[in-house]
A = this chain, B = another copy of it.
Amino acid sequence: MSSAPLKIAVLGAGTVGSQVVRLLQEQGADLSARVGAELKIIGVAVKDPARSRHGINPNLLTTDSKSLVKNCDILIEVMGGIEPAKSLILEAMQNGASVVTANKALLARHGSELLVAADKAGVDLYFEASVAGAIPLLRPIRESLAGDTVNRVMGIVNGTTNFILSKMETDGADYQDVLAEAQSLGYAESDPTADVEGHDAAAKAAILATLAFHTPVTIDDVYCEGITKVTKADMDAAESMGFVIKLLAVAERQAQDSIVVRVHPTMVPKSHPLANVRGVFNAVFVEAESAGELMFFGRGAGGAPTASAVLGDVVAAARNRVAGGVGPRDTSYAALKCLDISNAHTRYYIHIKVADKPGVLAKIATTFAENKVSIQVLHQDGHGDDATLVIRTHKATDAALAKTLDGLKKLDVVDSVIGVMRVEGEQGE
């Protein structure tokens, strides 16, 4: 062992924190060999140190985060929330410590600020665990693709909603019933808002977009639509067209100098690799100019998988310490414009209940044409009061689609618009 021990402080001992501490203890010898120095836990900050925590030496437990932050070489922040996490991280960096965090909420709001602070302090800030759990995704984007131009990042980054949508698909069940089942299985929280409304996925989309496009993106820049309005009728329509419904996070270059970042339920053809990512798995597609299509697949959550990502970052930060430097910097030099959803350019599925009259198709087709939305596939089902049209369009802007929908609703031949959803992943896009 060539170097002095590195002092590691841990903030939080929940699902992830307790696994991180366990692995640091169990794999101590291996980690030290890989780093070239001992990794020594100096303390684990918790709210209630009296509570016994399986596998953590009680002597390490403390409420005194402040002194941990002052005395460590590497801070592992797995407490979550914006404050006091943010202040403690900033203080640690000012004291010269490198920081590893899994805190997506914090990064999605203050990521660029924290990266700048790390740069100023000459320390590392790593956060692989904040997006897609164990899947190595941020390091490949930050480093492996650093010589390429990313055009699009598109993925399933929330396990709870993917579990619910997969179940709705296979069991033909309603959203509310599957949500209740997911809650009883522990896959959904008792207050599921952050997952089912897409906020969790939106935070991850902001982090991914920041790194992929070298541009500061916060959660406020992300269009966000959850899965609570996905109906059995949508599922049936998707099935009959050979599609599945996934909650996708999409960050894409819209033009040379702008991007759009969005989270919404999406119809994806069954032949697309993302369609086969079921249950609590996560997967992210990256499309780069030279590299072409890449996919990263794995477990997106859970104590041990997330802890694996945290420890990978800890080893990286520790190796940099031993080498006497810091890892590569990320800058938001490109500063692309982050446009709102009306600029997004996608295909759409539209399901309309129509009157069974002559001339229906002509009127509807005219409305699409007037708004410059081109129809790709049209399918007419039923007769009389049950007549419906299922339409998939070519790519159009969200703004053009909104106008088309307004126009459709005003037509006397249209009874109601039963379903509208974006479509991604078709060949030839």
Contact = CB atoms under 8 A, between A and B. Distances in A.
A135 B140 CA distance: 9
A307 interface: yes
A333 B34 contact: yes
A4 to B, nearest CB: 17
B319 A33 contact: no
Interface residues of A, number: 61
A373 B325 CA distance: 54
Given A139-B144, A147-B23, A320-B328, A333 B291 contact: no
A146 B293 contact: no
A18 B424 CA distance: 34
Contacts of A308: 145, 147-148, 288-291
Interface centre among A144, A292, A304, A319 (most CB of B within 10 A): A144
A34 B146 CA distance: 7
A304 B293 CA distance: 12
B310 A291 contact: no
A79 B299 CA distance: 39
Interface string A272-285: 01001000000000
A195 B314 CA distance: 39
A273 B297 CA distance: 10
A64 interface: no
A146 B326 contact: no
Given A23-B147, A33-B334, A144-B312, A290 B319 contact: no
A31 interface: yes
A240 interface: no
A281 to B, nearest CB: 9
A324 B292 CA distance: 32
Contacts of A314: 147
A148 B392 CA distance: 45
B309 A291 contact: yes
A370 interface: no
Interface centre among A36, A308, A310 (most CB of B within 10 A): A308
A297 B146 CA distance: 18
Interface in A73-95: none
Identify the 10 closest CB pairs spanning chains A and B, nearest first.
A147-B311, A325-B325, A136-B144, A136-B140, A134-B291, A290-B308, A146-B315, A319-B328, A291-B308, A294-B298
23 contacts: A33-B214, A33-B331, A34-B333, A36-B329, A134-B288, A134-B294, A136-B145, A140-B140, A143-B316, A144-B309, A145-B308, A147-B312, A147-B313, A290-B307, A290-B308, A290-B311, A292-B298, A292-B302, A294-B296, A294-B297, A319-B328, A323-B326, A323-B327
